[in-house]
């Protein structure tokens, strides 16, 4: 067995421990940020070195090291780096536990990296729990009533979702006798259609797994936790939840459904249709309920439910397309990358603004165009990207993901999705309107630290690059989707 292939994960784990230990001995907590970032950069370096190589399996086929996993690992590391940068101001206000905060961010990133790589039911569950438990703690980090409530709600609902997932896995294991995804696929293909229909337990298992994973990606109807947790959690953690945790959920769904349940065709059409329906419901509900929201974090919570709906259009495409066709998978990867940058940018701007205002109410953003023109401009760009207008990344991402869906006969879903984009323009533009048209409550400028500005410029630069010259990232996504084995 080749331990070199596990180096990114090992690095991250090591740095998480170093951060905790260092926290005990140093007084200037700023170094914790530097050390955490160093860990992320080193892990990313190892990941980049491995990129493009042939796919391999380690730990008795439990973990896959293929370009698909590497793509997601890089994505999670980039997200973690931006979140750490965006947290600097926020965390410096804590009197205690700064080390734990950064260590938990690193550990949950580790969990997500494992989620992208696991190819075996039990390790999937473990990776998922590693991610979730770190996030439960992070959500409750503020220890005020709202944050605590959010954490408790997230923990309880998350535990139920895990139980459902585990039950689904147990059923699948019961009917196939295997836990390794590739072996499950072989066992299913050996079953006859009538054999499956006679005992619907396998289908039930698959549906329960969708429910369990659906919690992670905030798919309707497993989305109830989203608005409260997003509102109560520390804002950097909300950003982290809304992009990284969702991306990890999609990574694991893609791998499980594509490699274990991808064949026979009737099965993949079935779950494809299920995702298509969930997508239609998710984006419609998310967008409609986002309209009356007055708290910007809550609004972005519902918006992320809607975005999960657009993403599930990609999953439906994967279900409807033949196994060799990569457009569904690569467009999903591209959408995740551009969504991650966009949402991180939006939340970073919100962190900067709410640091000053101590409020997340949309009405308090009034006149932000005068008080902080660059912050307001960046937030406007990110909101435009969320609507899906050019020249931002969201436009290309939607074009790409919808083009795949049209290709595989999902035009009805695309029509629902584009009409939903129109609805979404209404509430995103409301924030824009308040910022640029409203009168400022005071003339005081809104300051932002260097770290925040760096995180914000990086995200906005990424949003513009992916919107104007997306060719290169699309190519990477294609490579990642192609190498997807097991």
Partner 1 sequence: MDFNYLTTIIFLPLAGAIIVAFVPNLHHKVIKWISAIFTFVPLALSIYLFAIFDRSVGAIQFEEKLSWIPTINAHYHLGVDGLSLPLVILMTFLGFLVVLISWKIDLRPREYFAWLLLLETSILGVFCSLDLLLFFLFWEIEVIPMYFLISIWGTGRKEYSAIKYVVYTLFGSAMMLAGILSLYFATGSLSMVDIAQTGLATFTAVIPVAAIFFLLLTGFAIKLPVFPLHTWLPDAHTDAPTAVSVVLAGALLKMGGYGMIRLCVTIFPQVAQQYAPLLVAFAIVSVLYGAAVTLRQTDLKRLIAYSSISHMGYVLLGIFALGQVSLVGATLQMFSHGIITGLLFAMVGLVMHNAGERDLRKLGGLVRQMPIIAVVFSIAGLGALGLPTTSGFAAEFLVFVGSFTSTVVSGIQVYTILGVLGIVITAGYILWMLQRVFYGPVLEKFNGVKDADILERVYMFAFVAVIMLVGIYPAILTDVIKTGIMPIMGLLGA
Contact segment (CB under 8 A) with partner 1 among 2-10, 169-177, 311-319, 465-473 equals 465-473
Contact segment (CB under 8 A) with partner 1 among 36-44, 113-121, 353-361, 425-433 equals 425-433
Q: Is 445 in the site for partner 1 (CB under 8 A)?
A: no
Q: Which of residues 351-410 bind partner 1 (CB under 8 A)?
A: 384, 387, 389-391, 395-396, 399-400, 402-403, 406-407, 409
Smaller CB distance to partner 1: residue 138 or 416?
A: 416
The label of the residue with tokens 């409807």 reads 320
CB neighbour class for 59 (10 Å; exposed up to 12, middle 13-18, buried from 19): middle
Residue 129 has which token pair?
């729990």
Q: Is 59 in the site for partner 1 (CB under 8 A)?
A: no
Residue 427 has which token pair?
């509430």
| 344 close to 243: Cβ distance less than 8 angstroms | yes
Smaller CB distance to partner 1: residue 418 or 461?
A: 418
Smaller CB distance to partner 1: residue 13 or 374?
A: 374
| 484 close to 79: Cβ distance less than 8 angstroms | no
- CB of 374 vs partner 1, minimal distance in Å: 9
Cα dihedral 40, 46, 51, 56 sign: negative
Q: Which of 156, 322, 426, 447 binds partner 1 (CB under 8 A)?
A: 426
The distance from CA 179 to its chain's CA centroid, rounded to whole angstroms, is: 25
Best CA proximity match to 75, nearest among 457, 423, 341: 341
| 117 close to 126: Cβ distance less than 8 angstroms | no
Cα–Cα distance for residue pair 35/15, rounded to 1 Å: 7
- CB of 425 vs partner 1, minimal distance in Å: 5
| 465 close to 388: Cβ distance less than 8 angstroms | no
| 141 close to 58: Cβ distance less than 8 angstroms | no
Residue 234 has which token pair?
């520390």
Q: Is 306 in the site for partner 1 (CB under 8 A)?
A: no
User: Pattern of binders to partner 1 over 324-343, x per CB under 8 A?
Assistant: ------x-------------
- CB of 403 vs partner 1, minimal distance in Å: 5
Q: Which of 306, 425, 455, 483 binds partner 1 (CB under 8 A)?
A: 425
Element (H, E) at 57: strand 56-58
- CB of 470 vs partner 1, minimal distance in Å: 6
Smaller CB distance to partner 1: residue 364 or 478?
A: 478
Q: Is 418 in the site for partner 1 (CB under 8 A)?
A: yes
Smaller CB distance to partner 1: residue 57 or 414?
A: 414
- CB of 373 vs partner 1, minimal distance in Å: 9
Q: State the virtual CA torsion across 298, 300, 301, 307 in degrees, nearest 10.
A: 160
Calculate the alpha carbon distances from 370 to 46, 377, 450 in Å.
44, 10, 20
**Which stretches of the chain bind partner 1, using CB under 8 A?**
330, 384, 387, 389-391, 395-396, 399-400, 402-403, 406-407, 409, 411, 414-415, 418-419, 421-422, 425-426, 429, 432-433, 436-437, 469-471, 474-475, 478
């Amino acid at each position: 067995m080749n331990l070199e292939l596990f180096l990114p994960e090992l690095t991250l784990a090591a740095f998480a421990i170093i951060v905790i230990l260092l926290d005990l001995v140093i007084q200037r907590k700023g170094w914790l940020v530097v050390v955490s970032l160093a860990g992320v950069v080193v892990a990313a370096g190892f990941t980049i070195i491995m990129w493009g190589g042939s796919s391999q399996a380690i730990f008795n086929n439990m973990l896959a090291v293929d370009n698909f996993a590497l793509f997601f690992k890089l994505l999670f590391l980039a997200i973690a780096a931006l979140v750490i940068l965006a947290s600097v101001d926020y965390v410096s206000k804590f009197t205690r536990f700064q080390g734990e905060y950064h260590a938990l961010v690193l550990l949950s990133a580790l969990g997500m990296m494992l989620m992208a790589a696991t190819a075996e039911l039990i390790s999937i569950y473990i990776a998922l729990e590693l991610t979730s438990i770190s996030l439960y703690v992070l959500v409750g980090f503020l220890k005020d009533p709202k944050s605590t409530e959010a954490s408790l709600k997230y923990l309880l609902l998350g535990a139920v979702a895990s139980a459902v997932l585990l039950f689904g896995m147990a059923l699948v294991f019961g009917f196939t006798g295997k836990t390794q995804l590739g072996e499950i696929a072989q066992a299913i293909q050996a079953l006859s259609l009538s054999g499956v229909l006679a005992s619907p337990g396998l289908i039930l298992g698959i549906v329960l797994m969708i429910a369990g994973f659906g919690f992670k990606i905030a798919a309707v109807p497993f989305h109830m936790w989203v608005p409260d947790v997003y509102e109560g959690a520390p804002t950097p953690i909300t950003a982290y939840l809304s992009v990284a945790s969702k991306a990890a959920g999609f990574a694991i769904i893609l791998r499980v459904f594509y490699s274990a349940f991808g064949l026979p065709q009737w099965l993949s059409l079935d779950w494809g249709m299920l995702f298509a329906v969930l997508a239609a419901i998710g984006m419609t509900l998310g967008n409609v309920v986002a309209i009356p929201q007055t708290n910007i974090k809550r609004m972005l919570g519902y918006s992320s439910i809607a975005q999960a709906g657009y993403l599930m259009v990609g999953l439906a495409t994967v279900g409807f397309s033949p196994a060799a066709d990569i457009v569904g998978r690569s467009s999903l990867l591209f959408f995740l990358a551009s969504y991650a940058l966009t949402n991180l940018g939006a939340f970073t701007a919100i962190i900067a603004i709410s640091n000053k205002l101590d409020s997340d109410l949309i009405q308090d953003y009034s006149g932000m165009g005068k008080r902080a023109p660059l912050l307001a401009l960046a937030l406007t760009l990110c909101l435009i990207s969320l609507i899906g207008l050019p020249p931002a990344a969201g436009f290309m991402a939607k074009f790409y993901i919808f083009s795949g869906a049209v290709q595989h006969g999902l035009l009805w879903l695309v029509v629902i999705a584009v009409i939903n984009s129109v609805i979404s323009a209404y509430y995103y533009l409301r924030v824009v309107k308040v910022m640029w048209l409203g009168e400022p409550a005071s003339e005081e400028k809104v300051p932002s630290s260097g770290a925040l500005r760096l995180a914000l410029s990086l995200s906005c630069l990424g949003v513009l690059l992916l919107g104007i010259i997306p060719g290169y990232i699309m190519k990477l996504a294609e490579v990642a989707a192609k190498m997807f084995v097991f």
